[in-house]
Amino acid sequence: MTISIDSSAEIDAASWDTYVNGSPRASLYHLYGWKNVVEDTFGHRTRYLVARGSADQILGVLPLVELKSRMFGRMLVSMPFFNYGGILTADDDVRRGLLAAAIEAAKEIRANYLEIRDDEDWNQELPRKTSKVSMRLPLPDEPNELWKALGSKLRNQIQRPRKEGMTATIGGEELLDAFYDVFAANMRDLGTPVYSKSFFRNILRQFPDRTWIACVRAGDTPVAAGFLAGFNSQLEIPWASSLRAYNRQSPNMLLYWQCLEFACQRGFKVFDFGRSTMGESTFKFKEQWGAKPHQLYWHYWLPTGGDIPQVNPSNRKYEAAIGAWRRLPLPVTRWLGPKIVKYIP
């Protein structure tokens, strides 16, 4: 077995994706196209590792992204900005080889740490973070079956925005401006730097048959929106937002129902509501739809030992910055946010 790095001419995007599409453990974020999205949007260096056997057969892959900044340090992550990634292989020896190659790459760039995101606890020897779960809902074949299973209280909450005259649609890039207006406002209100609009545009163009935007409008005004990504039998909503001024009309309930209905109609078997912390408000919101927690494991290699890094909004050392961000004018956060969030994995 040999390990090759993307700087060589040996990695072919089509061969990489053929392997990913044939692996039952693969996620959307293992596809080679994310290399283009990350490089074009953020300018980060990527290191895509391939394990090969006899006859140059691909036995495993590991996509890695290098992030470096004065504020957060230098890190090597698979995959930053998303819930999944990590080592993709069916062979334990190959997994160990890819991990060893990733550690060598982290040493080479003098990274503060290596982070590998997964939903399988494949290495109990590495330090790992288990504070997050993904909330997943098995889907029936028909939307009507799911509608009946929701219960009267939830159905009434979905119907309320409809009675208020709100409408929901699902489409592609034509809805990007609407999505981003809602998303950027919500991120500011949460005190979190927002991604650039080009990030989502690049995703839509790289994966036109796998990504969609859902939008709820009150008249002509977008009031809730979500970004959908599908792979194999699973549809995920990694980003969803609604405007606080419309919370009483519950547009987010109609948004999620529209997405679930779409998932059933498209033949997806699982709806992934995205990651949450057990017991928090977003966890309870997703749980009411019938979603169950699926444990996420983020494994770390730390060159000097020590504690697992906590680069996230729940870290108390960022409380003052979050509070200040919420008070900034929206145009400022839309301009400044992408310059900061590109370094937050």
Q: pLDDT tens across 161-210, in order?
A: 999 999 999 999 999 999 999 999 999 999 999 999 999 999 999 999 99
The answer to whether domain 2-130+297-309 and domain 134-293 are alike in fold is yes
Question: What pLDDT was estimated at residue 10?
Answer: 64
Nearest to 21 by CA among 9, 30, 12: 30
Q: Which residues contact 230 (CB under 8 A, 6 or more apart)?
A: 28, 210, 211, 212, 236, 266, 268
Q: Give the chain's length.
A: 345
What's the rounded mean pLDDT across residues 231-259?
Answer: 96
Question: What pLDDT was estimated at residue 67?
Answer: 95
Tokens 């005190």 locate to 191
Residue 1 binned pLDDT confidence (cut-offs 50, 70, 90): low
Q: Where are the domains of the chain?
A: 2-130+297-309, 134-293
Question: What pLDDT was estimated at residue 316?
Answer: 62
Question: 2-130+297-309: which CATH number, 3.40.630.30, 3.10.105.10, 3.40.50.1970, 2.60.40.680?
Answer: 3.40.630.30
For the domain covering 134-293, report its CATH number.
Answer: 3.40.630.30
What's the rounded mean pLDDT across residues 11-32?
Answer: 94
Distance CA 259, CA 212 (A): 10
Residue 55 has pLDDT above 90, yes or no: no
Question: What pLDDT was estimated at residue 38?
Answer: 96
Question: What pLDDT was estimated at residue 312?
Answer: 61
Distance CA 93, CA 101 (A): 12
Burial zone of 75 (CB within 10 Å; 0-12 exposed, 13-18 middle, 19+ buried): buried
- pTM attached to this predicted model: 0.93
Distance CA 230, CA 211 (A): 6
Residue 5 has pLDDT above 80, yes or no: no
CA 88 to chain centre: 17
